Amino acid sequence: FGSKIIGAGSYKTVYDLGNNFILKVSEHPEYTTEIKKEIEIKKCAGSKYLTKILAYDKKGFHWLITEKVKTISYNNLDLFVETIAKLLKGSDFLQKSVWTSVRYSNEEEKVSINELQGEAFIEEFVHYLYESQNERDVKSRWLQGLIDVIKTCGIDPRDLYHRNWGIRPQTNEPVILDY
């Protein structure tokens, strides 16, 4: 095949095609339903919150080509949190307080979401997305749009941890890669 493998999961292998494109290929014919589901969700949601579809196998759903984005890892988790926090400015989410464990102690303290970093912030964000699916006044146009896409297109927000997000290099916008 000749392209570099950049990821693999239970159902798909991901290849870097160059020129900011990736190819997702079903590992086995019986798993093509995963690619079909991904295509249906991406078509429903559009490309504001999810990666863009460029081409796919319309008959057997064995493969899908999408834009390549910068994946979120532990090395750039702070950048991702900072980007999400900017998009949520003024929202009720950032005004919330949560109980969190005190490092090196069995005690807990109440802190503002704004004070959380890295995975702790993302965990609260994912929980908020799950809990807020029926709310209408979240005071962030970006967040309301994301919640609407999650509800309308059947995305389980509990699957939206940092490893399933990316950053679009051209615009620095966060986008969902997988769900």
DSSP string covering 40-67: HHHHHH-SSSBPPEEEE-TTT--EEEEE
The rounded distance, in Å, linking the Cα atoms of 95 and 91 is 7
* pTM for the predicted model, two decimal places: 0.84
Euclidean distance between the first and the last CA atom of the chain, given in angstroms as a whole number: 27
Q: Quick check: 148 and 138 in contact, CB under 8 A?
A: no
pLDDT digits (tens), the chain, 179 positions: 668 999 887 788 999 999 999 999 998 878 888 899 999 999 999 999 999 999 999 999 999 999 999 999 888 898 899 999 999 888 888 888 888 777 777 888 888 887 888 888 998 899 888 887 766 666 788 988 999 999 999 999 988 988 899 999 989 999 998 88
The CA distance from 132 to 128, in Å, is 6
Beta strands 53-56 and 97-101: pairing type? Answer: unpaired
